[in-house]
Structure 1
Amino acid sequence: MAVSPSGFGPLLRAWRDRLSPADAGFTATPGRRALGLRREEVAQLAGLSVEYVLRLEQGRARNPSAQVVGALARALQLSRGERDQLYRSAGLLPPRDGTVDTHVPPGVQRLVARLGDVPIGVFAADWTLVWWNPLWSALVGDAALLPVAERNLARALFGDGIARAAMLDISSERGQDAFEASIVADLKDAVARYPADAGLDALVRDLMATSETFARHWATRTAAVQHATDRKTVRHPVVGDILLDCDVLLVPGADLRMVTYTAATGTADADRLDLLRVGGVGASRA
C-alpha cells in the first residue's frame, strides 16, 4: 500500500516540530530557528539519510519498511498509540502483541539523553540494541554504523557477521562462559514469553546453525543466571583498558533492559571515561 502524502509526511513533520532538541540529546545553540528537531537531527537519530527523511516528508518516498518506521517512531519519541498511527499511515500493520517489543517510552529516551556522563544502552528482550546515548557509542562503538539486524548482543557474541567483527574486546569478571550462558538464558526466557515472534525464532535458529558455543549453552538443562550486575574490562583502542561496573536495569511497564557502565569517582577508570565523554561522538540513536 502506498504512503498517502496527506498522512505519513505531515505526521512526520508535525512530530518533528514538537520534539525539544534537549529531550533528544541535542544542544540548542543561540540563534536556532527550529523550535523542534531539524531534519538532519531526525535522520541522525533514526540512522537514515537526510535526503530520505525529506522525501518521506514530501511524499516522494513511498512504502517505508517497518524497520524505518520503527526507527522514526523511536527517534520522534512517540507514544505507543502514536507509533501505531505512524505505522498505519505508512500502510503497515503496527507490531503485534505477543512479539518482542522495541518501543522505547519517551520518558526512557529523555532519561538516556540527559544522563550524558553515563554510557547507557537500551535493549529489547532479545538483546537487540534499540536506543543509546553518545557516551555508549564512544565506549563500545557506534551501533548506527551496523545494519539494524546486526545490532544484537547475541549476534555479536555468537554470530559470524558484522556484529561480531565490530565488537570490542570486553571481558567479564564472572568469566566469559558465565556471561555467554546468561545471555542464552535470557533468550530462552524470551522465547518462552514470545513464542510467535518470527524474528526471535530466526535469531535462535541462525545462532544454533553457526555457533557450537551457542548450541552448547542452549542444550544445557542447568538453569543459568540471567545477565544482571557485573564488572567488565573494556579494552578501548584510544584510552586503554577501563574497568567498569555494569548494571542491568529493567524498565517497569516495558520489556526493556537499560545497561549502564559506571566507574567510582576519582579513579583512573573514571578519568578514562571522562576522556571519552569530552571527546563526544554523535547523538543518541534508534
Structure 2
Amino acid sequence: MCAALAGDPSRLRGRERSIAWRHSAGLPSRVTHEPDQLAHFEAAVVSDPRSSTVRYPGDPRVRRLVTDPREVSGRFEELWQSHVVGFHSSDRKTVRHPHLGPVTVNWATLTVPGSDLRIAVYSAPPGSRTAQQFEMLAAIGSRTCAPETG
C-alpha cells in the first residue's frame, strides 16, 4: 500500500533511499507539506542523522547521511548548524497520487527506544475520502505506479 501511495522505493539505490538526501537534493516526491508541517519535517530530517552519528561515530555510511545533504542544501546545513531537534512522530501530510489526486493521510512514526527501527503508519478516518482512496489503492496496487526516481 505504501508503494502504491507514495511510489515504489524498491528501485532506488544508495543515497536515493535516504529521505534526508532526497529532500535536500530537491528530488521528486509525491509528498507535500504545509509550511508548519515542513518546518517540523525538516527538523526531524536533520535530527535523525544527528542521533545516528552519536550512536555510530565511526561509521562512514552514517557520516554520509550528514555530509551528502550538507553538500547540496543550504537549508540542511543551516538546520545542522543550529542544532535543531525534532522527531518524526505524527502529523498529516498530502500525497499527490498520479491516479487518485491528492490523498491526505494521518501518519505516525513508531519507534523502539534505543533501536534504529522506525515504522511509518498511514491511516484515514473511517468513511472519509481518504479511506475510500485507500480502498482504491488496495484494488489497483502499485502495478500502475512508477517509482519517483527523478
TM-score range (shorter-chain normalised) is: 0.7 to 0.9
Shift of 1:249: 0.4
Shift of 1:190: 1.2
| Length-normalised TM-score, structure 1 | 0.47
Matched with 1:275 is 136
Matched with 2:25 is 159
**Residue 40 of structure 2 is aligned with which of 178, 201, 209?**
178
Residues in 2 aligned to 1:275 and 1:174: alpha-carbon distance in whole angstroms = 30
1:91-240 aligned at under 5 Å gives the runs: 135-159=1-25, 164-165=27-28, 167-172=29-34, 174-221=36-83, 223-240=84-101
Query: Structure 1: which 4+ aligned runs deviate by more than 3 Å?
Result: 251-254
Structure having the higher Rg: 1
Residues in 1 aligned to 2:11 and 2:115: alpha-carbon distance in whole angstroms = 26
Task: Could you tell me which runs of 5 or more consecutive residues in structure 2 were left unpaired when the two chains were aligned.
Answer: 144-150
The letter for the 2-side match of 1:183 is: V
Is residue 184–residue 214 contact of structure 1 (8 Å, CA) maintained in 2? yes
SS at match of 2:93: strand
Task: Could you tell me which runs of 5 or more consecutive residues in structure 1 were left unpaired when the two chains were aligned.
Answer: 1-134
Residues in 2 aligned to 1:199 and 1:263: alpha-carbon distance in whole angstroms = 36
Measured on the aligned residues, the alpha-carbon RMSD in Å equals 1.9
The structure showing larger relative contact order (alpha-carbon pairs under 8 Å, at least 6 residues apart) is 2
Shift of 1:275: 0.6
Aligned length: 143
Shift of 1:179: 1.1
